[in-house]
Structure 1
């Protein structure tokens, strides 16, 4: 069993692409304490029993039902897995796929059985994961921290990371006094700080090369400028936690970093709205749900914004994309927005899950399109 914490776009696309009767999607709130994990485990056990009854009622082949039961039991019995939880847990089972995600955002409990998986709740974590790395950089110390929404900051041990500037350049101090005739004074200090930063970057490279997490720098000048100028940092956040990080505890740095993330995400939402409004005016974005459904059906959606909290009962024609609205969701149906979402993911569209007030046009969805349909 493969356990992941934050789903990638590829994960969501893959899960959304499954279509066969008997797909079981379970979401439940969890927690980081043993008592919370025990409650979540009991809730999952109850959901699995409910899912079994529903699968049998739908006349799903007995062999598949037994396989789904067995996969669910493996999750329940994996004590190491239950020791480490986040705010919510997503479980997907269908006899072929068995996958879990520990999610940093708080989701309401749900157990859905249909001919596809219910993926919309995953998208909030994908849009704004609320995790980040903090590089606390000072002349006499360096720390790398990872923050998540619901756990204390975690110090990451980085092989080859220098303890301080003196360690990086092989000096007993960074006072600027040297006996070997090399560069001294303020110019020598800057050279040593650059060597220090370069040593840090070499140590961090294997970790950062495979990470998509935002990197937040906590430092003071001149180290801020030296670090920014020393190399490429594609996930470095523009805003820094200013001042000497040695004056702040890990918890204080984490609190400051979460505030930085809040402002970063708010600016991203504002920029997204501005871009969509311009594209609507230019005719390359849509806000009418019927138009969006048709575009998604023909693979024309380039990016999609959905209201994470809204369900629109109804169905979307498989060939034409025409919507038939309904008063309530039919059994095994997730509604119009979720079907649009599935089709958009199938054509590699970028999807953003936002709250109602942030969706351009004020509707259930908005879409930028590759071509008119």
Structure 2
């Protein structure tokens, strides 16, 4: 029933011509407190608002409403569905489609009935829930995870060595010396049966190179960040032989085998969160450079016009901001019609920018580079 959100999915939703297009957003954080019934009630309340809009603004009869919203009514009473939520929920309904997305970022409750879907909050999911990879690395345990802000999933990599004992085909006694590694004068020191020799160092490096080979093969076409959870000295060695470009200089220090998945996700996010949002700093720098030129704007109506004509390269907007109106192409002007023709101008600017190949970032008000609710960097 639920779908994975990708940029292609977003573009598909943009093409909806089966008006009215219904967009419903709601926060589902209450699931973490076990308040499943509360979620059902809140969703039914949002559906009631949609019903009222369909009657008052679109002239729909009860029979037509029941037919259009039938899948949503069914979802509202599915108790199993409400027990398996993330942070937010997005539901899109038209006469030809019914699409549901469980979101990893929180949303605010709202419903829209318009000629197009309202996608502002959905856009934020694409950037705020970016995935990264976590490699749990040690001599006796290795595991690769796919992670985002709220989820962590262990990946099945058959080629990844489970531990150095199996990789080198060692007996228990021979494997002991690899169990604890510290750094002394920049060189690894093994503790166990006697001092480490060149052969031991060679074996360890061979083991780490094989791990790097498998990881790089798995991620070679990816651009996601990779963070390693390992003892400091082992990470230092791995970092020197690593061939994956997305590896972070920082690492999660400690024994990953002693951490549960929740701890790994939480601690790794504390490290990687700022890197996930690097794009905001880049945009801010670009905007500051262009602020006093005609290649940028914070004027909503000017941005709406520019987005319509494919002039916007990068758009950043406050995902809570709304303003009703319509862009009249013949007059190159935004007007307020005060009827069903009006739509959310912020959403319109976002949709037009995506349709014309630009980038859109829908974020919280406090994350905006300036005090404005919208800003654009133009192509020309």
What TM-score does the superposition give when structure 2 sets the normalisation length? 0.79
SS at match of 2:273: helix
What SS is found at the alignment partner of 1:363?
A: coil
Q: Aligned pair 1:190/2:205, yes or no?
A: yes
Q: How does 1:306-317 map to 2 (within 5 A)?
A: 306-317=317-328
Matches of 1:265 and 1:200 in 2, distance apart?
20
Q: Which moved more, 1:108-117 or 1:93-102?
A: 108-117
> Which residue of structure 2 lines up, in the alignment, with residue 17 of structure 1?
15
Structure 2 CA distance, aligned partners of 1:227 and 1:364? 41
Question: Which residue is equivalent to 2:365?
Answer: 356
Of 258, 273, 286, the match for 2:284: 273
Q: 1:347 aligns with which of 356, 361, 365?
A: 356
Per-residue CA shift, 1:223-254, capped at 9, x if unaligned? 455357443354x4443223443454444332
Unmatched tracts of structure 1, length 5 or more? 178-182
Residue of structure 2 in register with 1:170 after alignment: 169
Does structure 2 retain, via aligned residues, the 8 Å contact 1:29–1:109? yes
SS in 2 for 1:117: coil
- Change in Cα spacing, 1:86 to 1:310, as seen in structure 2 (3 Å) is same
Q: Match of 1:366? A: 375
CA contact (8 A) 2:150 2:265 kept: no
Q: Aligned in 2, Cα 1:38/1:133: closer, same or farther, shift over 3 Å?
A: farther
Distance in 1 of aligned mates of 2:240 and 2:327? 49
Give the corresponding residue for 2:139.
139
Report the 3-state secondary structure (helix = DSSP H, G, I; strand = E; otherwise coil) of the residue aligned with 2:69. helix
Counterparts of 1:1-373 in structure 2, within 5 Å, are: 1=1, 3-5=2-4, 7-31=5-29, 32-33=31-32, 35-57=34-56, 58-60=58-60, 65-76=65-76, 80-129=80-129, 132-150=132-150, 153-172=152-171, 173-174=174-175, 175=177, 184-201=199-216, 205=218, 208=219, 214-219=225-230, 220-226=232-238, 229-234=241-246, 236-246=247-257, 248-265=259-276, 267-281=278-292, 283-324=294-335, 333-371=342-380
RMSD: 3.4
How many residues align structurally?
356
Give CA-to-partner distance per residue, 1:153-191, whole Å, 9 cap, x none. 5544444433212323434455589xxxxx823233322
How far the C-alpha of 1:273 sits from its partner, in A, is 0.4
Change (3 A) 1:126 1:167: same
The offset of 1:302, in angstroms, is: 1.5
Q: 1:36 to 1:147 in 2, by over 3 A?
A: farther
The runs of 5 or more residues in structure 2 that have no matched partner are 179-191, 193-197
TM-score, normalised to structure 1's length?
A: 0.80
Tell me, in whole angstroms, the C-alpha distance in 2 between the residues paired with 1:229 and 1:215: 14
Aligned partner of 1:180 in structure 2 is: none
2: distance between equivalents of 1:4 and 1:298? 31
Name the CA distance, whole Å, in 1 between partners of 2:377 and 2:276: 20
